[in-house]
Amino acid sequence: MKKVTPVFLALLLTISCQKDPINIVDEANSNCTDCNIEITKDASRLELFDSNVNIIKSTYSKSSKIVADTIDLVLKAKLNPLIVNYNGREVLLNANHVAVRSNRVAVSYSIVGEPYGGAIDIIDIPKNKNVTLEGTLLIPDKDIDAVDFDSRTRLMFGGGLNVDLFPNANSSSFFEYYSLKGQTKKPKDFNLKKLFSFTERFGNKLNSIKDLYGTIIGSGGGNDGTIFIYNKKEKKVFLDQSNVMSGLFIFDTSVTKQNGNNVFIAVAYNNNSKELKAFYYDINSKTSDLSFKYEVSLGNWNLNVEAKHSIMAPKSNVLIVSLEQEGIGVFKLQETNGIENASLVQQVKDEILDPNNPDEVVNSFSYYKRVVYAAAGAGGILILPYSNKKLKLSYEYKVELPGESVNSTLRKNDNLVVGSTSGVWIFKMSKKN
């Protein structure tokens, strides 16, 4: 974990008492002269393939609409690791998150260990054409821990920064928003326009940002993190003022529909008691303001607060959570005597993870059309269809990447993008004719 500075600790009282939303100051800069971002493109990092990939059918599979003999999985490209010069030495950046929008991929990076430094790769995966590396945004003195698009040409990212090198920063966590347009011929053709940036106390870093149901949400990492909503129409950020997650490590956030309204969900962890909790908030449809509803316990688990985590709410009363070495948990929420509680209805563990290999863990997953695509570390990529009727995940098959540790996955349309210790893998997944 990055060191916590007294400067941003001193901001706790200020931010926690803040009642008004944060207004975004328009910083539009067509040349991005003050962005402190270097745009490069090392095309030699990209390897192109057109290779069929073996899908291993699970011995636990009984029947499913998704089975190995009806699916084509083709490796289209591999983007090799990103290495940068840091204080005169070559440093490997760690790919920690992938985002996909309209056949465009963003991959976020941070330096492994204590120094600050990050980057974002932008990859184009056009239909029926070769994958191309559009460009790489090198962002010194900032970790990029979260990234997403809200359109093909608008990029959001955030993370942690070195406050000693940014005297105007309010804290060590930041959020930035850019217009992104580029061609695939030369780095100079890759255009970046800064729309705004700000540093607020989300935690010691911004570890999550997502665009769900047209709502941009996220959370800060580390102890005493904060959740937020960004209203792009009003250009305002709404921070949670309830302090109900004070002292907890926020793992991930999501949005679900309940009675036609958007509901914000955050899962947070008490590293002392080892209790995992889910927190539910109403989202004001007009103002995007947050109103705390209730919290439920998801039980006690031995989890790593530094690992990447994922949650998904396929229904308003169901929550799917990654549990690292404990696999994946499916929880059902219900009200008893006016009190909300949660029960574990399924734990997928023994069938997906080798207990003798501690490197097989489920830190993160993505969810697409009722299928979970889990990053299982040394266990590869796990494919688990989900039944809303039975509230159950079915382990159908896996894709092995020998010698790799899979960090993240994301499925959109026919594209399956995977981040691992050796780079980024881009697959095409489709039904056989």
User: For residue 165, what are its two tokens?
Assistant: 């090198």
- Report how far apart, in Å, the C-alpha atoms of 252 and of each of 238, 325, 341 are: 17, 17, 19
Higher pLDDT, 194 or 294: 294
pLDDT per residue as tens digits for the range 130-166: 999 999 999 989 999 999 998 999 999 999 998 888 8
Q: How big is the CA angle at 381 (ends 380 and 387), to the nearest 5 degrees?
A: 140
Instruction: Tell me if 95 sits within 8 A of 423, measured CB to CB.
Output: yes
Pairing of strands 46-52, 406-412: unpaired
Strands 364-368 and 173-181: unpaired
Residue 425 and residue 47: Cα distance in Å, rounded?
Answer: 10
Please give the structure tokens belonging to residue 123. Answer: 């990859």
* Residue pair 207/249 in contact by the 8 Å Cβ criterion: no
CA–CA gap between residue 266 and residue 250 (Å, rounded): 7
How many Å apart are CA 416 and CA 366, to the nearest integer?
10
Short-list 230, 225, 221, 223, CA closest to 197:
230
Confidence grade of residue 369 (pLDDT, cut at 50, 70, 90) = very high
**Which pLDDT value is given to residue 198?**
85
Question: How far apart are the C-alpha atoms of 433 and 427, rounded to whole Å?
Answer: 18
The whole-number average pLDDT for the span 273-279 is 97
**Residues across the chain:** 433
Cα 179 vs. chain centroid, distance in angstroms?
20
Say what the pLDDT of residue 96 is: 86
- Can you tell me the distance from the alpha carbon of 129 to that of 76, in angstroms, rounded to the nearest whole number? 10
Give 189's pLDDT tier (boundaries 50, 70, 90): low
Residue 29: predicted pLDDT: 61
Instruction: Give the model's pLDDT for residue 73.
Output: 93
The 10s digit of each residue's pLDDT in 122-131 is 999 998 899 9
Q: What is the pLDDT of residue 69?
A: 59
Share of the chain above pLDDT 70, in %: 89
Percentage of the chain modeled with pLDDT above 90: 57
Instruction: Of 90, 98, 92, give the one whose Cα is nearest residue 112.
Output: 92
Of 82-86, 123-127, 221-225, the range with the highest mean pLDDT is 123-127
Which 3-state string (H, E, C) describes the chain?
A: CCCCCHHHHCCHHHHHCCCCCEECCCCCECCCCCCCCEEECCHHHEEEEEEECCCEECCCCCCCCCCHHHEEEEEEEEECCCEEEECCEEEEEEEEEEEEECCEEEEEEEECCCCCEEEEEEEECCCCCCCEEEEEEEEECEEEEEEEEEECCEEEEEEEECHHHCCCCCCCEEEEEEEEECCCCCHHHCEEEEEEEECCCCCCEEEEEEEECCEEEEEEECECCCEEEEECCCCEEEECCCCCCCCCEEEEEEEEEECCEEEEEEEEECCCCCEEEEEEEEECCCCCCEEEEEEEEEEECCCCCCCCCCEEEEECCEEEEECECCCEEEEEEEEECCEEEEEEEEEECCCCCCCCCCCCCECEEEEECCEEEEECECCCEEEEEEECCCCEECCCEEECCCCCCEEEEEEECCEEEEEECCEEEEEEEEECC
> Whole-angstrom Cα distance, residue 283 to residue 100?
25
Residue holding tokens 């159950």? 392
96-107 per-position pLDDT tens digit: 899 999 999 999
Q: What is the pLDDT of residue 18?
A: 41
Give the angle subtended at the CA of 308 by the CAs of 307 and 309, to the nearest 5°. Answer: 115
φ/ψ (deg, to 5) at 213: 55, 35
How many whole angstroms separate alpha carbon 97 and alpha carbon 363?
A: 12
224 vs 277: CA distance, rounded Å: 14
Residue 284 has a pLDDT of 87
Q: By the 8 A CB rule, do 111 and 94 touch?
A: yes
Residue 218 has pLDDT above 80, yes or no: yes
**Structure confidence at residue 223 (pLDDT):** 80
At 17, the pLDDT band (50, 70, 90 cuts) reads very low
Predicted structure pTM score: 0.90
Q: Return the pLDDT at 158.
A: 93
Q: Report how far residue 268's alpha carbon sits from residue 247's, in angstroms, rounded to the nearest whole number.
A: 10
Whether residue 391 is predicted with pLDDT greater than 90 in this model: the reply is yes
The answer to whether residue 10 scores a pLDDT higher than 70 is no
First to last CA, the chain: 49
Mean pLDDT, the chain, whole residue set: 87
Count of beta carbons in the 10 Å neighbourhood of residue 77 = 22
Place of tokens 């299982």: 376
